[in-house]
Amino acid sequence: MSQQLRQRLFAELDALVLIDPHSHINPHEPASTTLADILGYHYYTELAHSAGMAKEQIEEAGLEPREKVRRLIAQLGPIDNTIQYSWFVEMAQSLLGYEKESVEASDADQLFDLAEAKMAAPDWAATVLRQSKIEAVFLTNDFDDPLEGFNTQVYIPCLRTDDLVFHLAKAEVRERLERAVGESVTSREDLGRAIGVLFQHFTAKGARACAISLPPDFTPAPVSAGRADVAIEAVLSKGLAASESDRKATSHWVFWKLAEFCAEFKLPFDLMIGVNRGVYAAGVHQGRDLYDSRVSLIQYRDLFNAFPQVTFPVSVLASVTNQELTSYAWIFPNVVTNGHWWYSNTPAYIEHDLAARLEAVPRTKQIGYYSDMYKLEFGLPKFAMYKRLLAKVLAERFVIDRNWSEERAVGFGRQVLRGNVESIFGIGES
């Protein structure tokens, strides 16, 4: 009975057309061209590597897509239990017309050909979006992205700021910034002005969010103008040779400045909290980051208090931080729960975390899900996973446990899936 109920709720939720509020899509090549683009996704390469496949096998220079696919498919057996494997199979079935329940080494060539034929269609990206019932996708744009040559109604720009906050000491980042704004940047004033130019550029192109990922030990704090003058000048002139203290002060100042511009330009500031970069140094591309789950939103207390006019959609990397996120969103008007990120984007954690949010955070302040995808083909299976879990939690914890009508449960689900994305990011507003 509960399973049929879940099925009915899922069917209703699955009928919605969605906006994906966070992805890593390249709008110039949004969809895959071969199956190697799909299996090259770090979820497959890192899991295959973790299960014993040599990194050199995966990242060999000049490796042909077909051969890469053969190699990876031959190594999927040890990971065929994972939810990530199920995304791959569901994608192949739904978008490529693949019919089996599993993918064996002997299927590699056939599947590669199937994919190649489909992906060669000139409207493949549009087809994928339509079949995935996704009408627009947020991007993750470098701060110096010209944001040209694509439809920003479908591919919505988002200003990603990790480089500015954490890597300004690298000559290359400073130079990219100077080129982007067409001016030299050697002082605090220059830097502030340059960041302002970026915000003008991005919002003029329809950006709907500023975003950043943050390590577990980061604690935002304002920096006095005097201290910032010294620190920023040191960082901009000495680069990586600047002191740790000056680099930290610069990071803090830039972060705080971003929040000020988010206020001025009325952009939500997506905070993705908790990642340590490069923990497994010998890992495959994008398969090196992990975390320390000992992080607290109390670290963001001053920020949330200082910027009541800025909306902070917050993602946390570890499920053990989800209760804090739930509580902070319940108390702070400007804190919003945002999706299920990375290592928490698996069913057991989504279910646990989602249940806690649905029952304690105002319904207007929950962004249900984003795909985080690099290629459009992953939107369908990832959102499908989430919608099934949303249907499960609504069925078990609202319809059954709390006696809600199915209609009411579906209405709540719709808001979390779609309505809040529109209202929080101002989609549809000019």
Q: Which of residues 43-62 bind its own copies (CB under 8 A)?
A: 46-47, 49-52
Strand stretches in 252-334, DSSP E: 269-273, 275-276, 290-291, 312-316
279 binding its own copies? (CB under 8 A): yes
Residues 321 to 360 in contact with its own copies, rule: CB under 8 A: 321, 323-324, 326-333, 343-344, 346-349, 352, 355-356, 358-360
Residue 131 burial (C-beta neighbours within 10 Å; 0-12, 13-18, 19+): middle
Beta bridge partners of 18: 134
26 binding its own copies? (CB under 8 A): no
Residues 362 to 421 in contact with its own copies, rule: CB under 8 A: 362-365, 388, 392, 397, 400-402, 412
In the complex with its own copies, which residue's Cβ is closer, 150 or 404? 404
Among 219, 293, 414, 422, binds its own copies (CB under 8 A): 293
d(CA 354, CA 374): 24
String marking each residue 249-278 x if it binds its own copies according to CB under 8 A? ---------------------------x--
Q: What is the maximum span of the chain, computed from C-alpha positions, in angstroms?
A: 67
d(CA 238, CA 171): 9
d(CA 105, CA 1): 39
Residues 176 to 205 in contact with its own copies, rule: CB under 8 A: none
In the complex with its own copies, which residue's Cβ is closer, 186 or 327? 327
What residues have CB less than 8 Å from 165, skipping those under 6 apart?
A: 212, 251, 254, 255, 258
Asked if 228 and 250 count as a contact pair (C-beta separation under 8 A), the reply is: yes
219 binding its own copies? (CB under 8 A): no
Neighbours of 164 (CB within 10 A): 26
Residues 56 to 115 in contact with its own copies, rule: CB under 8 A: 78-84, 86
In the complex with its own copies, which residue's Cβ is closer, 33 or 323? 323
Residues 300 to 319 in contact with its own copies, rule: CB under 8 A: 301, 304-305, 308, 318-319
